[in-house]
Structure 1
Amino acid sequence: MRDTRESRLLLVLLIAIAFALITVDIRTGEDSPVDGARQAAAAVFGPVEEGVATAVDPVANAIGAVRDSGERHNRIATLTRENAALKAKLGSEDQTRSRIHELDEMLKRAGAGQYGIKGAEVIAIGAAQGFSWTVTIDAGSKDGIERDMTVLNGDGLVGRVATVGPDTATVVLANDPDFTVGTRLEKTGELGFATGQGDRALSVQMLNGKAKINPGDRLLTFGSRGNKPFVPGVPIGEVVKVDPSRGDLTRTVWVRPFVGFSRLDIVGVVVMPPREDPRDAVLPPKPAPPKPTPTVTVTVTPSASVPAKPADE
């Protein structure tokens, strides 16, 4: 449009109309006659404005991302709690299975030796009545427990009852330095006396200084008539070292106990001794030695030799 008098008059007229509409809208407030036009324009251009604002407004986008991240974090926290609860449940079930296995092994040993036992649970570990290696069990005189009764578990000899209360008893462990028990070597029957050495292997004085003993040999309690001080045939441990023979009347060997004294849980007190010495029946079978790996012999056939070419004359 060219700049003519008519165009200038039209521009002035449009500006005047615009100012008049603004004045009317401000003065009339909510009941403005231009509300309909405004709403129609908002319906047409609103979605476009929202889309453009979302695309170009990084702050709004960041807030939305934080909100989504928060929801994800809450979900992860929920899953973490659910997994922790599941692991706790599985751990509890594993502990139950482990204790059932311990009880089953103990009953097998008691059955093999024909011992009448009273099962008990270790409820405390530590020094008591001056002993340095002791545990407290939840069985006492009300359960038929008496002093000096033999205590065992599924692995072998645990110790002996030292003191007894109505509902509990103190057991001095076989690795206590003041603990001594008569021993018998598997098969050969060589006798000795084992003494506790704390965290170290048991020290055993063999009465026959010329006895043939090798690492891997196993020892059991020698026992005596009745239930005190020890019943016969309870596994003690395995020889790990043999001191050289020096022509003395006795000989010292070192024995690793079968029982793990730091992880005791279920034990049995022998309240009824066997009618006969079970001898080696309580010992578990020795594992079969590993089969030797077969050797493969490779025969190399020498290749035919090629005669050397005679030198030129």
Structure 2
Amino acid sequence: MRDTRESRLLLVLLVAIAFALITVDIRGGEDSPVDGARQAAATVFGPVENGVAGVVDPVGNAVSAVRASGDRHDRIARLEHENARLKAELGSGERNRSKARQLDKMLRTAGAGQYGIKGAQVIAIGAAQGFSWTVTIDAGAHDGIKRDMTVLNGDGLVGRITTVGPDSATVLLASDPDFTVGTRMEGNDELGFAAGGGDRPLRVQLLNGKARVKKGERLVTFGSQSDKPFVPGVPVGTVVRVDPSGGDLTRTVYVKPFVTFTKLDVVGVVVEAPRKDPRDKVLPPAPKTKPTPTVTVTVTPGANPPDGQAQDNGRAQNDGQDAQAPDGADRQPQQQ
């Protein structure tokens, strides 16, 4: 339709009629005179509206689904975060329980030896490319740590302090090949020097080449002058192999350490030595050996042997009598 004067007048007329009908419909309520026309229009255009709604509804549903999926994604993310937090709390709880067990065991060891210790935790290990076996602990000069102090845990000797910083220190482990400590055998007091073997047992040179040592015997630290770098009585390990004695001045034995150096966590630095050598008091109770069962055969006098055995015994006795008869001696003839 072209924009002419007539078309403008027609448009104004239609708008005026529409307003008039709306006014009449509102005032009439349910009895509106245009209600019949409205119902007729609904009958005609209703199916068309439903069809259009059927086409448009999936789009609306898709939009709603996208919005809902975003909400679900946020909810899943919150749940995953909450699960991670709960797992972390459970892990930290088990971690705390493990540390508590280690600390309790170490305190019992320190109490048995009357060692004054400063607790610490391993926070780093030596460089992988290095040849030394070392760890770093979170205690240093501010905690009273000094060079050449003994380090232990609940199992036994860990090592000695080599470098001290304000809040950390380096520990040379007893497994390091350059590590050496004086030892004493449990019970027989044989002295020696243990050297680290890396991931292998400690190599101990006993000063007595004729010392009687057997597998399963245990060693403790002998102690150093002024208790530095080692205090006496700290458990070292158990003998796992003894080299044959070849008449040398010393004898070599190999010792498995009590400490597992790959699982170090809570350790204690001995800041105060015991007033008296604890000797073997710090060692755990020796494992009990199981007795070897033996079989004892008891022979009852006067028991009748089986027939076959009686005949064999009779032949053996006759043969013995014949063997004892001297040459040329008369033998009694057997009666027929």
The two structures have a TM-score, normalised by structure 1, of 0.67
Distance in 2 separating the partners of 1:291 and 1:40 = 108
Alpha-carbon distance change, 40 to 98 in structure 1, aligned in 2, over 3 angstroms: farther
Alpha-carbon distance change, 58 to 253 in structure 1, aligned in 2, over 3 angstroms: farther
Distance in 2 separating the partners of 1:233 and 1:164 = 25
* Partner SS, residue 227 of structure 2: coil
Distance in 2 separating the partners of 1:183 and 1:141 = 29
Distance in 1 separating the partners of 2:277 and 2:82 = 54
Counterpart check, 1:87 vs 2:87: yes
Alpha-carbon distance change, 247 to 84 in structure 1, aligned in 2, over 3 angstroms: same
The AA in structure 2 aligned to 1:185 is M
Deviation of residue 166 (structure 1)? Answer: 4.7
Deviations 1:227-246 (A, max 9, x none): 12311110112233333443
Match of 2:269 in 1: 269
The AA in structure 2 aligned to 1:265 is D
Deviations 1:60-111 (A, max 9, x none): 8777777666655544433222111100111122222222222222111111
Distance in 2 separating the partners of 1:246 and 1:163 = 41
Alpha-carbon distance change, 138 to 65 in structure 1, aligned in 2, over 3 angstroms: closer
Deviation of residue 115 (structure 1)? Answer: 1.1
1:116-155 correspondence to structure 2 within 5 Å: 116-126=116-126, 132-155=132-155
Deviation of residue 155 (structure 1)? Answer: 1.7
Alpha-carbon distance change, 67 to 142 in structure 1, aligned in 2, over 3 angstroms: closer
Match of 1:163 in 2: 163
Distance in 2 separating the partners of 1:69 and 1:276 = 73
The AA in structure 2 aligned to 1:125 is I
Report % sequence identity: 66
Distance in 2 separating the partners of 1:199 and 1:38 = 96
Distance in 2 separating the partners of 1:250 and 1:275 = 31
Match of 2:113 in 1: 113
- Tell me if the contact between 1:227 and 1:272 (Cα under 8 Å) persists in the aligned partners: no
- Tell me if the contact between 1:151 and 1:268 (Cα under 8 Å) persists in the aligned partners: yes
The AA in structure 2 aligned to 1:99 is K
* Partner SS, residue 226 of structure 2: coil
* Partner SS, residue 111 of structure 2: helix
- Structure 2 stretches lacking a partner, 5+ long: 1-12, 22-33, 293-336
- Tell me if the contact between 1:113 and 1:282 (Cα under 8 Å) persists in the aligned partners: yes
Distance in 1 separating the partners of 2:67 and 2:180 = 71
Deviation of residue 185 (structure 1)? Answer: 2.0
Alpha-carbon distance change, 39 to 103 in structure 1, aligned in 2, over 3 angstroms: farther
Distance in 1 separating the partners of 2:207 and 2:40 = 112
Deviation of residue 221 (structure 1)? Answer: 0.7
Give the count of matched residue pairs: 264
Alpha-carbon distance change, 80 to 233 in structure 1, aligned in 2, over 3 angstroms: same
- Tell me if the contact between 1:227 and 1:271 (Cα under 8 Å) persists in the aligned partners: no
Match of 1:213 in 2: 213
Alpha-carbon distance change, 232 to 131 in structure 1, aligned in 2, over 3 angstroms: farther
Distance in 2 separating the partners of 1:238 and 1:202 = 10
Match of 2:240 in 1: 240
In angstroms, what is the RMSD of aligned CA positions? 4.0
* Partner SS, residue 78 of structure 1: helix
Deviation of residue 131 (structure 1)? Answer: 7.9
Distance in 2 separating the partners of 1:247 and 1:38 = 124
Match of 1:97 in 2: 97
1:160-239 correspondence to structure 2 within 5 Å: 160-239=160-239
The AA in structure 2 aligned to 1:119 is G
More helix by share: 2
Alpha-carbon distance change, 37 to 200 in structure 1, aligned in 2, over 3 angstroms: same
Match of 1:21 in 2: none
Distance in 2 separating the partners of 1:38 and 1:288 = 103
Counterpart check, 1:284 vs 2:284: yes
The AA in structure 1 aligned to 2:246 is R
- Structure 1 stretches lacking a partner, 5+ long: 1-26, 293-313
Distance in 1 separating the partners of 2:65 and 2:166 = 67
Deviations 1:29-83 (A, max 9, x none): 89497785358847xx78x959x949xx988877777766665554443322211
The two structures have a TM-score, normalised by structure 2, of 0.63
* Partner SS, residue 226 of structure 1: helix
Alpha-carbon distance change, 38 to 99 in structure 1, aligned in 2, over 3 angstroms: same
Match of 1:37 in 2: 38
Deviations 1:211-259 (A, max 9, x none): 3434433221111453123111101122333334434333322222222
- Tell me if the contact between 1:131 and 1:172 (Cα under 8 Å) persists in the aligned partners: no
Distance in 2 separating the partners of 1:81 and 1:144 = 42
Deviation of residue 281 (structure 1)? Answer: 1.2
Shifted more, 227-236 versus 65-74: the winner is 65-74
Alpha-carbon distance change, 59 to 274 in structure 1, aligned in 2, over 3 angstroms: same
Deviations 1:183-228 (A, max 9, x none): 1222332222110122222111223344343443322111145312
Distance in 1 separating the partners of 2:76 and 2:140 = 51
